[in-house]
Amino acid sequence: MLTSMIIIFLVGYLLIALEHPLKINKAGTALLVGTILWTLYTYGAPTFIPEASAEEFKLFLEHNPSLSTATFKEQCIHFVIEHQVLDCIGEIAETLIFLIGAMLTVELIDVHGGFMFITNRITTKKKRNLLFMVATITFFMSAVLDNLTTSIVMIMLIRKLIGDYKERWIFGSIIIIAANSGGAWSPIGDVTTIMLWVRGNISTSATIPHLLLPSIVSALIPVLITMRSLHGNITPPNAFETDPNDELLRILKKKEKLSILILGISCLLFVPVFKTITHLPPFMGILMGVGILWFYTEIIYRGNNINEDLKLRLSKVVHRIDGSTLLFFLGILLAVDALRCSGALADFSLWLDKNVGNVYAVNLIIGTFSAIVDNVPLVAGAMGMYPIANETMVAAAADPVYMSHFVQDGVFWQFLAYCAGVGGSMLIVGSAAGVVVMGLERINFIWYLKHISLLALIGYLAGASVYIIQRVIFNF
């Protein structure tokens, strides 16, 4: 059964990669694969659960004594339907709601002319200069925001600057690389670094100085190589295209547009602060930001006596969100969660530990596979395999030097944060940022594979080499 699930996942992956020649929407493929895998997993639950989720299953039965008279197969099916499916859907819903909130915030800023204050100050038309500027902004913004939100913001910006979609594909691809690299060195820049930070595997004071230079190198090298192939000026958007929001933008005062930009960016920046203060999940913070921004725009409308037909209420802005991107995201996460619950990813982690052993090699392989399988379950599997070591565990270990790699801020955890975050850039579906940019800009999987994947691999290995040199040679 597990073999069948893996084969179906790989076939679905191939169909997504060949979306354009086959003319089959990747969202439909992802949803089909995700639901088939969960069906197979539920059917084969009695085989999977005793090995993959024995402790969880035991606790589930303890909390549901009414199932004591049921057969083992019925107990397993109840466990999958009433526990695992709901848990997975809950986690996926958190991600999707956050994504919707971030998209709504960016769209509200955009339709009210907020981004004009940024695009009007970017005067360069040369492709090389603009690419370097976009990559730099993305890299550092991703460390403060998460790479997902940053990618959405930057795609909206380049749409205002670049008219040719092929040129936007190049810039969008660099945004993916810069966003993933920028998120790797900050505890709040990526979902995986947040996981490691919250669980105490890494700390802010040690992570930033150790991972900053490798992350810069992993982004800078692809940017410099891409710049060499770019010549001339960008193709600006068609100036003769009519914008249905023009009349509204003429009515709004300059300070009102600026205030919407500042408030919108502040709402995005407030999300990690909100999480730290309240301990509520990030999607609650982003929804609060949407509510604040929506409320503020309504006040502006009333103050300007804007005609009802011109009011860009949230219900209209919602229609600008790409629903197929959200469904694609849902399908991919469902498929990966089915593999995770079946124990396939945990088995892979155990195989790495037994057959590879070296912490640098293990993390490099995990990073490579994070371009194929979502990095979140891979990191979760690694965290489950290796406990955070303490001084007593290190002293008692047969190999104290090896065990020392697993203490807080040890080599394994820091390098895992780098590899899992940056490695996803090698394929466009390997990271949340890549999936969103792929959906928003309709970037072809094969095109990305041909033109960008090798650059991302070179940057990934170069940054990894810098980290290893820091640790092994300079003992930093």
DSSP 409-449: T-HHHHHHHHHHHHGGGGSTTSSHHHHHHHHHHT--HHHHH
Measured between alpha carbons, how far is 464 from 258 in angstroms, rounded to an integer? 41
Measured between alpha carbons, how far is 234 from 130 in angstroms, rounded to an integer? 9
Measured between alpha carbons, how far is 70 from 104 in angstroms, rounded to an integer? 47
Kindly report the number of other CB atoms within 10 A of residue 224's CB atom.
Answer: 15
**Contacts with 302 (C-beta within 8 Å, 6 or more apart), sequence order:** none
Measured between alpha carbons, how far is 144 from 268 in angstroms, rounded to an integer? 9
Lowest mean pLDDT among 378-387, 403-412, 425-434: 378-387
The two three-digit tokens of residue 416, written as one number: 């895992």
Inter-residue contact 407 to 395 (CB < 8 Å): no
Quick one: pLDDT at residue 312? Answer: 62
Surface-to-core class of residue 295, CB atoms within 10 Å of its CB (0-12 exposed, 13-18 middle, 19+ buried): exposed
What is the 8-class DSSP label of residue 389?
A: B
More confident residue, 249 or 65: 65
Per the prediction, the chain carries an average pLDDT of 84
**Contacts with 268 (C-beta within 8 Å, 6 or more apart), sequence order:** 102, 105, 145, 149, 153, 286, 289
The mean pLDDT value for 240-254 works out to 63
Measured between alpha carbons, how far is 131 from 302 in angstroms, rounded to an integer? 40
User: Averaging pLDDT over each range in 87-91, 179-183, 267-271, 394-398, which range is the top one?
Assistant: 179-183
**Contacts with 60 (C-beta within 8 Å, 6 or more apart), sequence order:** 78, 79, 82, 83
Say how many Å lie between the first and final Cα of the chain, rounded. Answer: 46
What is the 8-class DSSP label of residue 244?
A: T
Quick one: pLDDT at residue 150? Answer: 86
- In this predicted structure, the answer to whether residue 221 has a pLDDT above a threshold of 80 is yes
The mean pLDDT value for 23-32 works out to 88
Burial 2-34 (b: 16+ CB within 10 A, else e): beebeebbeebbebbbbbeeeeeebbbbbbbbb
Which region, left, alpha or beta, applies to residue 376 given φ > 0 means left and ψ of -120 to 50 means alpha? Answer: alpha
Q: Which sign does the torsion angle of CA 203, 209, 210, 215 carry? A: positive
Task: For residue 463, name the pLDDT band (cuts at 50, 70, 90).
Answer: very high
CA dist list (Å): 192 to 95, 117, 418 = 13, 33, 9
CA dist list (Å): 1 to 39, 76, 333 = 11, 16, 20
Beta bridge partners of 407: 389
Query: What's the count of helices (H) and strands (E) in the chain, helices before strands?
Result: 27, 0
Question: pLDDT per residue over 73-132, tens digit each?
Answer: 999 999 999 999 999 898 888 878 887 888 888 888 888 888 778 777 887 889 999 999
